[in-house]
Amino acid sequence: GAGVSQSPSNKVTEKGKDVELRCDPISGHTALYWYRQSLGQGLEFLIYFQGNSAPDKSGLPSDRFSAERTGGSVSTLTIQRTQQEDSAVYLCASSSILGVGYTFGSGTRLTVV
């Protein structure tokens, strides 16, 4: 596609429920990143994929968070047993191996009530 697409754009969920966030990167971009932006804070790196593998999972806040990427394209970020502190905007970005910039999606605003 023309840009990085994220879905849903907004998600309200009850505490304790699982949620799945989807990211569709720019076609051909091999690198894909997940970030989280909490209210009043900067962007927090979560995880990075090169192809289908994630060399760096150190940013995932807890074992309730997991992410996968299949076919070197779409990625899903899963949060199990959501907590109120998980409420944030989750941003996905992709970059080509030859690129110098990162293209971000519009984000998914997650609210845990």
Partner 1 sequence: SQELEQSPQSLIVQEGKNLTINCTSSKTLYGLYWYKQKYGEGLIFLMMLQKGGEEKSHEKITAKLDEKKQQSSLHITASQPSHAGIYLCGADKGANNLFFGTGTRLTVIP
Residues that bind partner 1 (CB under 8 A): 3-4, 9, 31, 33, 40-43, 45, 48, 50, 55-56, 91, 93, 95, 100-107
Please report how close the Cβ of residue 64 comes to partner 1 at its closest, in angstroms.
22
Please report how close the Cβ of residue 101 comes to partner 1 at its closest, in angstroms.
4
Beta-bridged to residue 90, according to DSSP, are: 36, 108
Q: Which is nearer to partner 1, 16 or 45 (CB)?
A: 45
Residue 27 corresponds to which tokens in the numbers above? 């076609």
Beta-bridged to residue 6, according to DSSP, are: 23
Q: Which is nearer to partner 1, 17 or 111 (CB)?
A: 111
- CA dist 8 and 90 (Å) reads 10
Q: Which is nearer to partner 1, 56 or 85 (CB)?
A: 56
Q: Which is nearer to partner 1, 5 or 80 (CB)?
A: 5
